[in-house]
Structure 1
Amino acid sequence: MNTRITELLGIKHPIIQGGMAWVAEHHLAAAVSEAGGLGLIGGANAPAEVVREEIRKAKALTKKPIGVNVMLLSPHADEIAKVVVEEGIGVVTTGAGNPEKYIEMWKAAGVKIIPVVASVALAKRMERYGADAVVAEGCESGGHIGEQTTMTLVPQVVDAVSIPVIAAGGIGDGRGIAAAFMLGAEAVQIGTRFVVSDESIVHENYKQRIIKAKDIDSAVTGRSHGHPVRCLRNQMTREYVKLEQEGKSFEELEYLTLGKLREAVQEGDITNGTVMAGQIAGMIYKKQTCKEMIDEMMEQAEKLLNR
């Protein structure tokens, strides 16, 4: 399935793995790239040298393209932006902010720039500043979210820009990929399904929480303060939402979530940790290798698109 995205990135399948904090490390990124997609190293809040080491470890596992997700709110974003160039990374995705100040440096180094956007206005702005493509991410996705759904956001972004659009949010099988293509996308970004892959270093408790999730198990915290985050319901989300309803300030609530994603991912605390996952968690019922996931999704998508 060739698209402008597969040609731009030099990949076989139009599937990009999300740059999930604490999850998107070298084992997962290399496995997705080896399977024909584009694996990403998630920069998150990690120091630049940690990201550099992750890039080098991924490159030792695969000769295929890998990318880096630069989280622009990170205190280390400036240094990570330089590491991307120094380590010869060919593509970056960006989240949680505006990457404009890095675009000139990245362009000069031949880096392909793909910002994640949650609105038409930001997509158009990114195109004006030289982005090579955009990820239009709907609110069905896990982690930090916007307000538009994938079904409504993707076609509006496709209509508003001439660069390729990658759909994200609520996509976890071939049906979702086919639907995204019908909306005008030329690739998809997938996060939650890859969390339960065999190569994912996420704690088994976290994987099983996703696998056992039902359709109604998704919760959003932080809406009242403009920082909505989608995760799976647990004791922490119930407490957070209760305090939000009582009108507590962002500062009063922050202690509930500080360090809680790491506790869930690495230590397996799925009661008080932050179990970030998209609404498609209810569709995920088995662990597989990244290759098995990608092959299964692409086979299903191609059958549907060739009907």
Structure 2
Amino acid sequence: MKTRITELLGIEYPIIQGGMAWVANANLAGNVSKAGGIGFIGAANAPAEWVREEIRKAKAITSNPIGVNIMLLSQYADEIAKVVVEEGVKVVTTGAGNPEKYMAMWKAAGIKVIPVVASVALARRMERYGADAIVAEGMESGGHIGEQTTMTLLPQVVDAISIPVIAAGGIGDGRGVAAAFMLGAEAVQLGTRFVVAKESTVHQNYKDRLISAKDIDSEVTGRTTGHPVRQLRNQMTRQYHLMEKEGVAFEELELLTLGALRKAVVEGDIKNGTVMAGQIAGLVHKEQTCKEIIDELISEAKSVYEGKAMVF
């Protein structure tokens, strides 16, 4: 499966692991890259030196390209932007902001820049600023989301820009990979499926909750505040929705979720923590190695193409 993305990034398969905060560390990213896809370390709000150390750990796992996801609203974004250059990172994905001010520095260092977007307008804007590719992320994904579905957003972004597009949101198996390619994507980004990878260091409680999730277990909090987040329902989400209905202040809602992702990922508190996961969680049934996940995705996608040929 060779595409403009595999050529651009120097990877074997068009499979990308999303840079999930508290989840996407060196162990996960390094092993995804080792298996032929490309893994991304999630910088989130972490200090620059933590990111530097994770990059070095990932490089100890594999000589294949690894990436870093930079959340541009982070107070450490300026420092991390320099760290990826100093550490020879090959590709950066960005979110929550405009990477324009870093473009010249990154381009001079040969870094490929791939912003994550949730609208056609933003995709066009990022192309004008010099992005090498775009991740079009639908609202089926876990974590912070936009309003459009992958099915509707992806083909519109593909039609709007000339650089390659990566599909994200609601992709959990080879059928999803094949569907994304049919809509014009040249790679796919997965998060939820990789959360339960054997190399993922998230707490076992988190993995078990995700594996046991049903199709209706995903829900969104924060729509009333303008900061919607998709996660699995639990005691905290019920409390959040109740507080939203009661019209409590934004500050109180923020206090409820403060540190909640770490609480779930690191401490294993799946009742009061934020268990971020996409709507595809109902399709995730077991732990596998990163290599097993990627091999299965590619095998299933090929089977779909071979078995679903139609005559019109």
TM-score interval (norm. to shorter): over 0.9
What's the secondary structure of 2:23's corresponding residue?
A: coil
Percentage identity across paired residues of the two chains: 77
Partner of 1:182: 182
| TM norm structure 2 | 0.98
What's the secondary structure of 2:197's corresponding residue?
A: coil
Deviation at 1:246, TM superposition (A): 1.5
Partner of 1:77: 77
Between 101-110 and 201-210, the greater mean CA deviation after superposition: 101-110
How many residue pairs were aligned? 307
What's the secondary structure of 2:97's corresponding residue?
A: coil
Deviation at 1:234, TM superposition (A): 0.3
Deviation at 1:84, TM superposition (A): 0.5
Distance 1:21 1:157 in 2: 25
Deviation at 1:305, TM superposition (A): 2.1
Q: What per-residue deviation string (whole Å, max 9, x for no partner) do you get for residues 72-118 of structure 1?
A: 11110010000010000010000111111111111111100000000
| TM norm structure 1 | 0.99
Partner of 2:216: 216
What's the secondary structure of 1:256's corresponding residue?
A: helix
Matches within 5 A, 1:50-199: 50-199=50-199
Q: Which runs of 4+ in 1 moved over 6 A?
A: none
Deviation at 1:250, TM superposition (A): 1.6
Distance 2:60 2:79 in 1: 22
Residue type of the alignment partner of 2:114: I
Which ranges in structure 1 are unaligned for 5 or more consecutive residues?
Answer: none
Matches within 5 A, 1:228-243: 228-243=228-243
Q: What per-residue deviation string (whole Å, max 9, x for no partner) do you get for residues 251-279 of structure 1?
A: 12111111110010011000000000000
Partner of 1:26: 26
Which ranges in structure 2 are unaligned for 5 or more consecutive residues?
Answer: none
Mapped pair 1:259 → 2:248: no
Q: What per-residue deviation string (whole Å, max 9, x for no partner) do you get for residues 174-201 of structure 1?
A: 0000000000000000000000010000
Distance 2:246 2:184 in 1: 42
What's the secondary structure of 1:24's corresponding residue?
A: coil
Q: What per-residue deviation string (whole Å, max 9, x for no partner) do you get for residues 272-303 of structure 1?
A: 00000000001101110010010011001012
Matches within 5 A, 1:253-292: 253-292=253-292
Distance 1:158 1:120 in 2: 9
Residue type of the alignment partner of 2:223: R
What's the secondary structure of 1:219's corresponding residue?
A: strand
Distance 2:302 2:5 in 1: 17
Distance 1:220 1:85 in 2: 36
Q: What per-residue deviation string (whole Å, max 9, x for no partner) do you get for residues 159-214 of structure 1?
A: 00000000000001000000000000000000000000100000000000000000
Distance 2:250 2:80 in 1: 28
Residue type of the alignment partner of 2:32: V
Q: What per-residue deviation string (whole Å, max 9, x for no partner) do you get for residues 46-91 of structure 1?
A: 0000000000000011000000000111110010000010000010
Distance 2:287 2:85 in 1: 35
Distance 2:250 2:15 in 1: 36
Partner of 1:246: 246
Deviation at 1:33, TM superposition (A): 0.4
Distance 1:107 1:244 in 2: 44
Partner of 2:205: 205
Residue type of the alignment partner of 2:63: K
Deviation at 1:136, TM superposition (A): 0.1
Q: What per-residue deviation string (whole Å, max 9, x for no partner) do you get for residues 21-66 of structure 1?
A: 0000011001100110001111010000000000000001100000
Between 201-210 and 250-259, the greater mean CA deviation after superposition: 250-259
What's the secondary structure of 2:16's corresponding residue?
A: strand
Deviation at 1:304, TM superposition (A): 1.3
What's the secondary structure of 1:69's corresponding residue?
A: strand
Distance 2:250 2:187 in 1: 36
Deviation at 1:249, TM superposition (A): 2.3
What's the secondary structure of 1:30's corresponding residue?
A: helix
Residue type of the alignment partner of 1:39: G
